[in-house]
Amino acid sequence: MIKIEAIVRREKFEEVKDALSRIEVNGISVSEVMGCGKQKGYMELVRGSEVPISLLPKIKFEIVVSDDGWADKTIKAIKESAFTGNPGDGKIFTYRLDNVIRIRTSESGSAAIN
């Protein structure tokens, strides 16, 4: 099992969500997060003074899939739908999971996410 975390631009939320739905990835968690990468934010004019804005609002998707095939499909859908070609498009992280347990039924492993 693989956990995929994708941090993308806020304005790409609907596109990423729709892309995941099209490939039938339905079990997702979404959070609003703040962060920065190499660009370190931007300068904003506030009451006539430039103020550095170092943390930018982003959307974080968390998805668990059963195998490498699903992970590849999911990552491809996220990359294609979140891409703008500009700095700040985001990152995708993957993690191997030892186990997943569905609380309601006590199912574990792949049965808990299918």
- What's the CATH code of the domain at 76? 3.30.70.120
Digitized pLDDT (tens) for each residue of the chain, 114 residues in all: 999 999 999 999 999 999 999 999 989 999 999 988 777 767 778 888 888 777 889 999 999 999 999 999 999 999 999 999 998 899 999 999 999 999 999 999 989 988
The amino acid that residue 57 corresponds to is: P
Full domain range(s) for residue 82: 2-112
Q: What is the pLDDT of residue 87?
A: 86
Return the exposure string of 17-38: e unless at least 16 CB atoms fall within 10 Å of the residue's CB, then b.
bebbeeeebeebeeeeeeeeee
Residue at token pair 């995708």: 92
How many domains does the chain divide into? 1
Q: What is the pTM of this model?
A: 0.87
* Helix 13-22 and helix 68-82, axial crossing angle in degrees, nearest 10: 140
Residues 23/72, Cβ–Cβ less than 8 Å: no
